[in-house]
Structure 1
Amino acid sequence: MTDQHTPAAGAAPEPEADRTVVVERLVSAPREVVFTAFTSVDHLSAWWGPDGFTTSTREFDFREGGTWVFTMHGPDGTDYAEWIQWREIAPPERIVLLHGEYAGDPNAFDSVFTFEEVGEQTRVTLSTVFPTRQLRDTAVEEYHAIEGGAQTLAHLAAHVEG
Protein backbone atom coordinates (compact mmCIF):
# COMPACT_ATOMS: atom_id res chain seq x y z
CA MET A 1 0.00 0.00 0.00
CA THR A 2 1.32 3.49 -0.85
CA ASP A 3 0.27 6.86 0.42
CA GLN A 4 -0.90 9.61 -1.91
CA HIS A 5 2.63 11.03 -2.21
CA THR A 6 4.63 7.90 -2.96
CA PRO A 7 4.64 6.41 -6.46
CA ALA A 8 3.59 2.76 -6.57
CA ALA A 9 6.40 0.21 -6.46
CA GLY A 10 7.71 -0.42 -9.96
CA ALA A 11 6.11 2.77 -11.32
CA ALA A 12 8.28 4.93 -13.54
CA PRO A 13 9.51 8.02 -11.70
CA GLU A 14 7.78 11.23 -12.62
CA PRO A 15 9.92 13.52 -14.80
CA GLU A 16 11.86 16.05 -12.71
CA ALA A 17 10.44 18.93 -14.77
CA ASP A 18 6.94 17.94 -13.62
CA ARG A 19 8.04 18.12 -9.97
CA THR A 20 9.99 21.39 -10.09
CA VAL A 21 9.33 25.03 -9.24
CA VAL A 22 11.85 27.72 -10.24
CA VAL A 23 11.90 31.30 -8.96
CA GLU A 24 14.49 33.92 -9.92
CA ARG A 25 15.40 37.45 -8.89
CA LEU A 26 18.07 39.91 -9.92
CA VAL A 27 19.54 41.46 -6.76
CA SER A 28 21.47 44.73 -6.75
CA ALA A 29 24.35 43.49 -4.62
CA PRO A 30 27.58 41.57 -5.21
CA ARG A 31 27.36 37.79 -5.21
CA GLU A 32 29.50 37.39 -2.06
CA VAL A 33 27.16 39.71 -0.12
CA VAL A 34 24.07 37.83 -1.31
CA PHE A 35 25.64 34.47 -0.44
CA THR A 36 26.61 35.73 3.04
CA ALA A 37 22.92 36.43 3.77
CA PHE A 38 22.50 32.62 4.09
CA THR A 39 25.42 31.99 6.43
CA SER A 40 24.09 33.16 9.80
CA VAL A 41 20.82 32.90 11.65
CA ASP A 42 20.83 36.67 12.22
CA HIS A 43 20.81 37.28 8.46
CA LEU A 44 18.26 34.55 7.69
CA SER A 45 15.89 35.64 10.44
CA ALA A 46 15.85 39.13 8.93
CA TRP A 47 14.61 38.05 5.49
CA TRP A 48 13.55 34.37 5.28
CA GLY A 49 9.95 33.62 4.32
CA PRO A 50 7.00 35.15 2.50
CA ASP A 51 5.32 38.43 3.41
CA GLY A 52 4.19 38.56 7.03
CA PHE A 53 6.16 35.52 8.21
CA THR A 54 8.79 35.51 10.95
CA THR A 55 11.08 32.77 12.23
CA SER A 56 12.21 31.42 15.60
CA THR A 57 15.34 29.29 15.43
CA ARG A 58 16.01 26.32 17.72
CA GLU A 59 19.17 25.06 16.01
CA PHE A 60 21.49 26.47 13.34
CA ASP A 61 24.65 24.88 11.96
CA PHE A 62 25.63 26.25 8.54
CA ARG A 63 27.93 23.56 7.19
CA GLU A 64 27.45 20.61 4.86
CA GLY A 65 25.44 18.08 6.87
CA GLY A 66 24.41 20.74 9.40
CA THR A 67 20.82 21.68 10.07
CA TRP A 68 18.59 24.66 10.64
CA VAL A 69 15.59 23.80 12.82
CA PHE A 70 13.08 26.61 13.17
CA THR A 71 9.44 27.62 13.34
CA MET A 72 7.86 29.91 10.78
CA HIS A 73 5.13 32.07 12.28
CA GLY A 74 2.43 32.98 9.78
CA PRO A 75 0.65 36.33 9.77
CA ASP A 76 -2.55 34.53 10.84
CA GLY A 77 -0.82 33.12 13.95
CA THR A 78 -0.25 29.63 12.53
CA ASP A 79 3.12 28.08 13.38
CA TYR A 80 4.91 25.83 10.88
CA ALA A 81 7.65 23.44 11.98
CA GLU A 82 10.61 23.64 9.58
CA TRP A 83 13.79 21.61 9.18
CA ILE A 84 16.59 22.20 6.69
CA GLN A 85 19.73 20.16 6.15
CA TRP A 86 22.53 21.91 4.27
CA ARG A 87 23.67 19.33 1.69
CA GLU A 88 26.16 21.34 -0.36
CA ILE A 89 27.73 24.72 0.29
CA ALA A 90 29.93 26.10 -2.49
CA PRO A 91 30.71 29.75 -1.67
CA PRO A 92 29.69 32.01 -3.31
CA GLU A 93 28.05 30.02 -6.12
CA ARG A 94 25.61 27.46 -4.79
CA ILE A 95 23.72 26.12 -1.78
CA VAL A 96 21.83 22.82 -1.87
CA LEU A 97 19.44 21.93 0.92
CA LEU A 98 16.81 19.41 1.92
CA HIS A 99 13.71 21.09 3.40
CA GLY A 100 10.95 19.39 5.34
CA GLU A 101 8.97 19.69 8.53
CA TYR A 102 11.35 17.40 10.44
CA ALA A 103 14.33 15.07 9.90
CA GLY A 104 13.14 12.05 7.95
CA ASP A 105 10.06 13.82 6.54
CA PRO A 106 9.02 11.68 3.52
CA ASN A 107 7.65 14.82 1.83
CA ALA A 108 10.89 16.80 2.19
CA PHE A 109 12.06 18.49 -1.00
CA ASP A 110 15.39 19.46 -2.48
CA SER A 111 16.17 23.12 -3.16
CA VAL A 112 19.15 24.59 -4.96
CA PHE A 113 20.06 28.26 -4.68
CA THR A 114 22.49 29.49 -7.32
CA PHE A 115 24.18 32.88 -7.34
CA GLU A 116 25.29 34.19 -10.74
CA GLU A 117 27.20 37.42 -11.28
CA VAL A 118 25.45 39.75 -13.71
CA GLY A 119 27.65 42.82 -13.85
CA GLU A 120 27.39 44.47 -10.43
CA GLN A 121 24.27 42.45 -9.62
CA THR A 122 23.52 38.84 -8.67
CA ARG A 123 20.91 36.58 -10.23
CA VAL A 124 19.54 34.32 -7.50
CA THR A 125 17.77 31.22 -8.80
CA LEU A 126 15.82 28.96 -6.46
CA SER A 127 15.02 25.60 -8.01
CA THR A 128 12.93 23.26 -5.87
CA VAL A 129 12.31 19.61 -6.78
CA PHE A 130 9.48 17.87 -4.94
CA PRO A 131 9.28 14.08 -4.47
CA THR A 132 6.11 13.92 -6.60
CA ARG A 133 4.14 16.10 -8.98
CA GLN A 134 1.21 16.00 -6.55
CA LEU A 135 3.35 17.50 -3.78
CA ARG A 136 4.58 20.19 -6.18
CA ASP A 137 1.01 20.97 -7.25
CA THR A 138 -0.14 21.15 -3.62
CA ALA A 139 2.73 23.50 -2.75
CA VAL A 140 1.89 25.75 -5.71
CA GLU A 141 -1.92 25.70 -5.45
CA GLU A 142 -2.54 25.51 -1.69
CA TYR A 143 0.59 27.08 -0.23
CA HIS A 144 1.32 29.54 -3.08
CA ALA A 145 4.94 28.37 -3.37
CA ILE A 146 5.76 30.47 -6.44
CA GLU A 147 4.42 33.69 -4.94
CA GLY A 148 5.98 32.85 -1.56
CA GLY A 149 9.32 32.11 -3.20
CA ALA A 150 9.21 35.41 -5.07
CA GLN A 151 8.36 37.27 -1.84
CA THR A 152 11.20 35.51 -0.01
CA LEU A 153 13.71 36.50 -2.69
CA ALA A 154 12.34 40.07 -2.56
CA HIS A 155 13.04 40.08 1.20
CA LEU A 156 16.56 38.79 0.53
CA ALA A 157 17.08 41.60 -2.00
CA ALA A 158 15.82 44.24 0.42
CA HIS A 159 18.09 42.83 3.16
CA VAL A 160 21.30 42.93 1.10
CA GLU A 161 20.51 46.09 -0.87
CA GLY A 162 19.70 48.11 2.26
Structure 2
Amino acid sequence: MSATGQGASAESATADRETVISRIIDAPRELVFEAFTEVRHLSHWWGPEGFTTATRAFEFRVGGEWDFVMHGPDGTDYQEWITWTELAPPERIALRHGETRDDPNAFESVLTFEPEGTATRIEMHTQFPTKEQRDEAVEKYHAIEAGRQTLSNLAAYVTETVRKGAEG
Protein backbone atom coordinates (compact mmCIF):
# COMPACT_ATOMS: atom_id res chain seq x y z
CA MET A 1 0.00 0.00 0.00
CA SER A 2 1.31 3.46 -0.80
CA ALA A 3 2.10 5.97 1.90
CA THR A 4 -0.14 8.54 0.25
CA GLY A 5 -3.76 8.73 -0.80
CA GLN A 6 -6.73 6.95 0.71
CA GLY A 7 -4.71 4.10 2.20
CA ALA A 8 -2.65 6.44 4.34
CA SER A 9 -5.68 8.32 5.65
CA ALA A 10 -7.45 5.05 6.48
CA GLU A 11 -4.37 3.84 8.35
CA SER A 12 -3.97 7.06 10.31
CA ALA A 13 -7.70 7.10 11.11
CA THR A 14 -7.47 3.75 12.92
CA ALA A 15 -3.86 3.67 14.21
CA ASP A 16 -4.87 4.79 17.71
CA ARG A 17 -7.29 1.82 17.96
CA GLU A 18 -4.83 -0.90 16.87
CA THR A 19 -2.17 -3.24 18.18
CA VAL A 20 0.21 -5.31 16.07
CA ILE A 21 2.20 -8.26 17.41
CA SER A 22 4.45 -10.50 15.34
CA ARG A 23 6.80 -13.40 15.84
CA ILE A 24 8.91 -15.70 13.74
CA ILE A 25 8.24 -19.34 14.55
CA ASP A 26 10.72 -22.03 13.56
CA ALA A 27 8.16 -24.31 11.92
CA PRO A 28 6.48 -24.60 8.51
CA ARG A 29 3.54 -22.31 7.81
CA GLU A 30 1.08 -25.20 7.36
CA LEU A 31 1.89 -26.52 10.84
CA VAL A 32 1.62 -23.09 12.49
CA PHE A 33 -1.72 -22.53 10.75
CA GLU A 34 -2.96 -25.98 11.80
CA ALA A 35 -2.01 -25.33 15.44
CA PHE A 36 -4.09 -22.15 15.30
CA THR A 37 -7.13 -23.74 13.65
CA GLU A 38 -7.64 -27.14 15.26
CA VAL A 39 -9.12 -27.40 18.74
CA ARG A 40 -6.95 -30.42 19.55
CA HIS A 41 -3.93 -28.09 19.39
CA LEU A 42 -5.38 -24.87 20.82
CA SER A 43 -5.85 -26.18 24.35
CA HIS A 44 -2.10 -26.89 24.54
CA TRP A 45 -0.90 -23.34 23.92
CA TRP A 46 -3.68 -20.71 23.77
CA GLY A 47 -3.39 -17.80 26.18
CA PRO A 48 -0.71 -15.99 28.15
CA GLU A 49 1.72 -17.74 30.50
CA GLY A 50 -0.02 -19.56 33.35
CA PHE A 51 -3.45 -19.67 31.63
CA THR A 52 -5.31 -22.79 30.54
CA THR A 53 -8.18 -23.01 28.07
CA ALA A 54 -11.36 -25.08 28.22
CA THR A 55 -13.37 -25.25 25.00
CA ARG A 56 -17.17 -25.50 25.12
CA ALA A 57 -17.77 -25.43 21.35
CA PHE A 58 -15.53 -25.11 18.30
CA GLU A 59 -16.38 -24.92 14.62
CA PHE A 60 -13.62 -23.64 12.34
CA ARG A 61 -15.41 -22.19 9.31
CA VAL A 62 -16.52 -18.71 8.28
CA GLY A 63 -19.39 -17.93 10.64
CA GLY A 64 -18.34 -20.73 13.00
CA GLU A 65 -17.66 -20.04 16.65
CA TRP A 66 -15.18 -20.92 19.35
CA ASP A 67 -16.78 -20.65 22.80
CA PHE A 68 -14.22 -21.13 25.56
CA VAL A 69 -13.12 -20.21 29.06
CA MET A 70 -9.61 -19.09 29.91
CA HIS A 71 -8.59 -20.02 33.45
CA GLY A 72 -6.14 -17.51 34.90
CA PRO A 73 -3.28 -18.51 37.19
CA ASP A 74 -5.05 -16.69 40.06
CA GLY A 75 -8.18 -18.83 39.60
CA THR A 76 -10.17 -16.20 37.68
CA ASP A 77 -12.23 -17.51 34.76
CA TYR A 78 -12.58 -15.40 31.62
CA GLN A 79 -15.50 -16.17 29.29
CA GLU A 80 -14.34 -15.82 25.68
CA TRP A 81 -15.97 -16.08 22.28
CA ILE A 82 -14.55 -15.92 18.76
CA THR A 83 -16.24 -16.09 15.37
CA TRP A 84 -14.25 -16.59 12.20
CA THR A 85 -15.01 -13.90 9.58
CA GLU A 86 -12.49 -14.83 6.87
CA LEU A 87 -10.34 -17.90 6.24
CA ALA A 88 -7.63 -18.27 3.61
CA PRO A 89 -5.61 -21.37 4.61
CA PRO A 90 -2.70 -21.32 5.29
CA GLU A 91 -2.21 -17.57 4.82
CA ARG A 92 -4.82 -15.59 6.74
CA ILE A 93 -7.48 -15.71 9.44
CA ALA A 94 -9.84 -12.86 10.32
CA LEU A 95 -11.93 -13.07 13.46
CA ARG A 96 -14.15 -11.19 15.89
CA HIS A 97 -13.30 -11.72 19.59
CA GLY A 98 -15.33 -10.80 22.64
CA GLU A 99 -16.71 -12.24 25.84
CA THR A 100 -19.98 -13.31 24.20
CA ARG A 101 -21.66 -13.24 20.78
CA ASP A 102 -23.38 -9.91 21.56
CA ASP A 103 -20.38 -8.20 23.21
CA PRO A 104 -20.43 -4.51 22.12
CA ASN A 105 -16.72 -4.29 22.99
CA ALA A 106 -15.66 -7.17 20.72
CA PHE A 107 -12.62 -6.46 18.59
CA GLU A 108 -11.44 -7.59 15.16
CA SER A 109 -8.16 -9.38 14.51
CA VAL A 110 -6.42 -10.43 11.32
CA LEU A 111 -3.66 -13.01 11.52
CA THR A 112 -1.28 -13.55 8.65
CA PHE A 113 1.10 -16.48 8.24
CA GLU A 114 4.04 -15.75 5.94
CA PRO A 115 6.84 -18.20 5.11
CA GLU A 116 10.34 -17.03 6.06
CA GLY A 117 12.56 -19.77 4.67
CA THR A 118 11.68 -22.85 6.72
CA ALA A 119 10.11 -20.69 9.45
CA THR A 120 6.85 -18.73 9.61
CA ARG A 121 6.22 -15.08 10.46
CA ILE A 122 2.86 -14.73 12.20
CA GLU A 123 1.44 -11.24 12.58
CA MET A 124 -1.62 -10.45 14.68
CA HIS A 125 -3.21 -7.11 13.77
CA THR A 126 -6.03 -6.15 16.16
CA GLN A 127 -8.42 -3.24 15.84
CA PHE A 128 -10.62 -2.15 18.74
CA PRO A 129 -13.90 -0.23 18.38
CA THR A 130 -12.43 2.84 20.14
CA LYS A 131 -9.07 4.24 21.26
CA GLU A 132 -10.29 4.01 24.85
CA GLN A 133 -11.01 0.29 24.51
CA ARG A 134 -7.60 -0.29 22.98
CA ASP A 135 -5.93 1.68 25.77
CA GLU A 136 -7.87 -0.25 28.43
CA ALA A 137 -6.91 -3.59 26.82
CA VAL A 138 -3.24 -2.56 26.73
CA GLU A 139 -3.07 -0.95 30.19
CA LYS A 140 -5.50 -3.00 32.29
CA TYR A 141 -5.28 -6.39 30.58
CA HIS A 142 -1.70 -6.09 29.26
CA ALA A 143 -2.92 -7.07 25.78
CA ILE A 144 0.40 -6.58 24.02
CA GLU A 145 2.42 -8.59 26.51
CA ALA A 146 -0.33 -11.23 26.73
CA GLY A 147 -0.34 -11.48 22.92
CA ARG A 148 3.43 -11.87 22.86
CA GLN A 149 3.23 -14.60 25.51
CA THR A 150 0.48 -16.37 23.56
CA LEU A 151 2.57 -16.37 20.37
CA SER A 152 5.55 -17.56 22.42
CA ASN A 153 3.44 -20.47 23.71
CA LEU A 154 2.41 -21.23 20.11
CA ALA A 155 6.06 -21.17 19.03
CA ALA A 156 7.10 -23.56 21.82
CA TYR A 157 4.21 -25.90 21.03
CA VAL A 158 4.79 -26.13 17.28
CA THR A 159 8.57 -26.40 17.51
CA GLU A 160 8.13 -29.27 20.00
CA THR A 161 5.61 -30.85 17.60
CA VAL A 162 8.16 -30.53 14.77
CA ARG A 163 10.85 -32.12 16.94
CA LYS A 164 8.58 -35.02 17.94
CA GLY A 165 7.61 -35.54 14.29
CA ALA A 166 11.26 -35.64 13.26
CA GLU A 167 12.08 -38.15 15.99
CA GLY A 168 9.04 -40.38 15.53
When normalised by structure 1's length, the TM-score is: 0.90
Task: Report sequence identity in percent.
Answer: 63
CA RMSD of aligned residues (A): 0.9
Moved over 3 A (4+): none
| Structure 2 residue 130 is the aligned partner of structure 1 residue 132 | yes
Counterpart of 1:75 in 2: which secondary structure? coil
1:91 to 65, 89, 101: 89
Counting matched residue pairs gives 149
1:20 and 1:103 map into 2 onto residues whose CA distance is 21
Aligned twin of 2:150: 152
2:31 and 2:129 map into 1 onto residues whose CA distance is 32
1:36 and 1:57 map into 2 onto residues whose CA distance is 17
> Which has the larger share of helix?
2
Q: Which runs of 5+ in 1 are unaligned?
A: 1-13
Counterpart of 2:104 in 1: which secondary structure? coil
| Structure 2 residue 104 is the aligned partner of structure 1 residue 114 | no
1:111 and 1:54 map into 2 onto residues whose CA distance is 21
1:93 and 1:39 map into 2 onto residues whose CA distance is 12
Matches within 5 A, 1:16-55: 16-55=14-53
The structural deviation recorded for 1:39 is: 2.0
2:121 and 2:83 map into 1 onto residues whose CA distance is 23
1:64 and 1:51 map into 2 onto residues whose CA distance is 29
Deviations 1:31-76 (A, max 9, x none): 0010000221110111100000001111000011000000000000
When normalised by structure 2's length, the TM-score is: 0.87
